[in-house]
Amino acid sequence: MKNYQKTLYACFTGYIVQAILNNFIPLLFLTFRSQYGISLTQISLLISGNFLLQLAVDFAAIFFVDRIGYRVSIVLAHLFAFIGLGSLAILPNLLPDPFIGLLLSVLIYAIGGGLLEVLVSPIVEACPTDNKEKAMSLLHSFYCWGYVAVVLVSTIFFAIFGIANWPILAVLWALIPLANMFIFTKVPLAPVVPEGEVSLSNRQLFGLKSFWLFLVMMVAAGASEQSISQWASTFAEQALGVSKALGDLAGPMLFAIMMGLSRLLYGKYGEKLQLNKFMQASGFLCLAAYLLVGLSGNPLFGFIGCALSGFSVGILWPGTFSLSSKYIRNGGTAMFAYLALAGDLGCSIGPALVGTVAQNSGNSLQMGILSGSIFPIMLVACVFLVGVMNRRRAGVVLKKV
């Protein structure tokens, strides 16, 4: 009997790597402006380049991961992450235009980030664990802890050694995907689709009503998560009266800690809870948090709402992965890739809606946040419908028996 505990640990580390890729470079945007003289437009291109390439890799993975295998793919994901992070310390000073060096580095590690997003969850789902929902929730909590660690460790490093030495820290962060890459060459990997069975085709997947519901759930989960978190630093400044620098730390970090706690709690006590009911309760709590932020005139209550929203959205993303695996057998790589795409789409739609409504409401951020309450409502409705479909399916099976 193979021991898959080391496989789970490697996957947990993989999500820490994902957190490094997404959250390290934003800490350096002001430094890049002063050191290299790059514009805000170029900084925006670094953000959008990372996001868009990850989306492209999510989609491309549908066509090549099963052909080259999960082990080769996950090793390549870590290799790209290592090269991209390491290149941050080299290419900007090596190339005539520092911005090109930064952009190339970001695009290299974006390939790794996109692959990690598609690969890690199905690898964990395939492991023969007693409670897959618990394992999935615990896995996704490591992204939150990775985010907190990136901000805290980086802040401490800059305070001690000076922010001018950021390239050294980039290399140190790069050592984590390098080490995990070698671990993934040795740990056992269970087949994502059981032996003797075949993954569903794209046509079969999209022919399932439940799959469409899961796609909408992922959009709603991503939008619910990002619609408030993108504005968390603003509410931290308003509620606590701190500087923008401290607000950037306090708001997003508190959101990440609360989200991580939610996933950690479900990871520990998940066997005592029904996932779909927990997700519905989380959806209602998320709606309450949005209403608290959007309707309260007290900035402190708005800040509390931000924290509550972090806790409430914790289970939504990993829970949707787990429910889809439970209700759609043999979804395989394609299912996880499409779900990741839908989640990323929600991450972009949510903040965009909030910003647009806020602008059209006289720059009222509260009205923007209030408009985002549609997303937890969508998620609760979808979880309910998935439950109804499952009960009907179970009833049909019983009648046939």
Please, where are the H alpha helices in 185-315? 202-206, 209-229, 232-240, 244-269, 275-295, 299-313
**pTM for this model (two decimals):** 0.84
CB-based burial, 143-173: b 16+ in 10 Å, e otherwise? bbbbbbbbbeebeebbeeeebeebeebbeeb
Quote the pLDDT of residue 327.
87
Q: How far apart are CA 378 and CA 376, in angstroms?
A: 5
Q: Is the dihedral of CA 319, 322, 326, 328 positive or negative?
A: positive
Q: Which residues contact 215 (CB under 8 A, 6 or more apart)?
A: 338, 339, 342
Quote the pLDDT of residue 242.
60
Q: Which residues contact 221 (CB under 8 A, 6 or more apart)?
A: 313, 316, 317, 319, 320, 343, 346, 379
In one-letter notation, the amino acid at residue 255 is F
Quote the pLDDT of residue 399.
47
Q: How far apart are CA 136 and CA 372, in angstroms?
A: 26
Separation in Å, CA 98 to CA 38, 44, 147, 286, 356 = 8, 15, 26, 42, 33
Residue 16 near residue 142 (C-beta atoms within 8 A)? yes
Minimal CA–CA distance to 189: which of 124, 114, 115, 112?
124
Quote the pLDDT of residue 303.
76
Quote the pLDDT of residue 370.
87
Residue 222 near residue 345 (C-beta atoms within 8 A)? yes
**pLDDT tens for each residue of the chain, 401 residues long:** 477 899 999 999 999 999 999 888 888 887 888 889 888 778 878 877 887 898 899 889 988 998 899 999 999 999 999 999 999 999 999 999 999 999 999 999 999 999 999 999 899 988 887 777 888 888 989 999 998 899 889 888 988 999 899 999 999 999 999 999 999 999 999 888 766 667 788 888 999 888 999 999 999 998 898 887 766 666 566 555 666 566 666 677 788 899 999 988 888 887 778 888 899 999 999 999 989 888 877 777 777 888 899 899 999 988 898 889 888 878 888 898 899 889 888 887 888 788 788 778 887 777 888 888 999 999 999 999 988 887 776 655 434 43
